[in-house]
Amino acid sequence: MTLTLRSSTSFINPKDNKIIKAHLHEDLYGVISFKQAKSSTRLRKRSSLQEIKMERSYKLEKLHSLSMNHHMNDLRVPVFVMLPLDTVTLGGNLNKPRAMNASLMALKSAGVEGVMVDAWWGLVEKDGPMKYNWEGYAELVQMLQKHGLKLQVVMSFHQCGGNVGDSCSIPLPPWVLEEISKNPDLVYTDRSGRRNPEYISLGCDSLPVLRGRTPIQVYADYMRSFRDRFRDYLGEVIMEVQVGAGPCGELRYPSYPQSNGTWRFPGIGEFQCYDKYMRASLEAAAESIGKRDWGSNGGPHDSGQYNQFPEDTGFFKKEGTWNTEYGKFFLEWYSGKLLQHGDRILAASKGIFHGTGAKLSAKVAGIHWHYGTRSHAAELTAGYYNTRHRNGYSPIAKMLAKHGVVFNFTCMEMKDGQQPGYANCSPEGLVRQVKMATRDAKAELAGENALERYDGGAYEQILATSRSESGNGLTAFTYLRMNKNLFEPNNWRNLVEFVKTMSEGGRNRKLPESDCSGSDLHVGFIKEKKIKEVAVV
């Protein structure tokens, strides 16, 4: 006898010692089958015609249920939560493990998929070249496994401190800083000669400037050590490795540094191409096209300063140098160097993590100020050659897609109307452009919020973005960030509701009232309210 029933599972008695096995399907819309165990109960024989009809009905019902399950899973957007920047201490230990354990329990109860953590280069390899300490991260991974949570881990080759939201200071490894002190051109440099120690300049990617190794080799050795240490967890607990490719872990130049008040919103920023390695590359590029003078003085002389507006400069103004033959040459070179850097580090990453079961991702910054102008000045100084006449995110998306890397993008929570008019912002327009670029390149798209937001309006904007049919939908969303504010009652309720709605694909779906359209719960033989067997179909 087969009975199809729509009901809650409240009739299951957890104390019933006759339950043989119970597997819970991880998917939200799983199909649970209660199969008949041995029983002395004799069922009345039915005619073969009746059996055929019931079998056909059952097959149709099961097919409908499985197809609905697949459709719902396509819509589901798993939510991760970023952990504090100081999750691992300067000494290499897990920070406040008891509080972390309690927080992870709460996140699990809220339905989040997992968490994200920065694996800081400045902590792990601080004792010397190729001397790695992963123990604090190992303790975290084991704790996550215990709670059934997944992990996104960021290979953070940048310093912590000096940018929006940085709550602690973690510089690059001491032995790397020692090399920088000997050769200051190892880090990004602006027109006035100001050095930025956030990240090693991509100009020396392929030069053995770090005690006989190139920066790309150093990053690769670091990732290889991580893979070997966590081999048993990759693809099981550790589901994603995000490869840091610049300041804040983002594939960009440090064109808008906030340390020491250098830059403030919504300044256009400055080009970062004045270390000797970048200057040599520019000179070679100019000479190769017979325009030697275009590379002799570094970058554009009329591009202004960090806190200026586009119209204050000769380069970025409406009819500025950016749209001349020289401007196009320079911007192609500058953005091209960034693309080459991303390509190099992601190619290395792909070789290291291939076959581990972990996805690779890379983060691109959501630079939405001055997006409404022709030149998109703030994006240009960061290395994104995106103007009114050119799609700068298409080549980035294609490069990431080539390596099978997820395109992780920020500012998903922002609305145009919330930004100051004088800044010519359009986060919504920017997100739409990125969604279309990733769709056309066949690259997966994941999202983050750029600033800490706990209000319903921010969540609603993320939901609207995730379910929009224009361009790519989100394959995952990572919420910034876990702290004491998140656990305030109203903030917590908003998060729980957001996670629930994202798990339903951003749509409030209700199951049908009757079984005529197919049930999610198929119940087999039950006698005297005692379940003989529970198993997933």
Active centre residues (catalytic): 250, 448
Tell me how far the alpha carbon of residue 395 is from its chain's centroid: 19
87 secondary structure, DSSP code = S
Neighbouring C-alpha atoms within 13 Å toward the C-beta of 45: 2
CA-based angle 160:161:165, to the nearest 5? 95
According to the annotation, is 166 in a ligand binding site?
A: yes
118 is in an annotated binding site: yes
Task: Give whole-number Cα distances, 508 to 36, 178, 247, 503, in Å.
Answer: 34, 56, 38, 10
3 state SS of 287? helix
510 vs 498: CA distance, rounded Å: 17
**Is 158 among the annotated ligand-binding positions?**
yes
Nearest to 518 by CA among 35, 59, 73: 59
Would you say 187 and 197 are in contact if contact means Cβ atoms under 8 Å apart? yes
At residue 332, what is the residue type? E
Are the beta carbons of 498 and 506 closer than 8 angstroms? no
**Amino acid type, 269:** G
Q: How many Å apart are CA 285 and CA 297, to the nearest integer? A: 13
Q: Which residue has the tokens 């970058």?
A: 299
Nearest CA to 100 out of 120, 121, 79, 86 is that of 86
Token output for 537: 């179909």
Indicate the pairing of strand 238-243 with strand 359-364: parallel
DSSP state of 9: S
* 102 labeled binding residue: no
Q: DSSP string of 170-226?
A: B-S-HHHHHHHHH-GGGEEE-TT--EEEEEE-GGGTTS-TBTTB-HHHHHHHHHHHH
> Any binding-site annotation on 449?
yes
Residue 262 in marked binding region = no
Q: Which residue ranges are tagged as binding site?
A: 118, 158, 166, 363, 368, 410, 449-450, 481
Q: Which residue ranges are tagged as binding site for substrate?
A: 118, 158, 166, 363, 368, 410, 449-450, 481
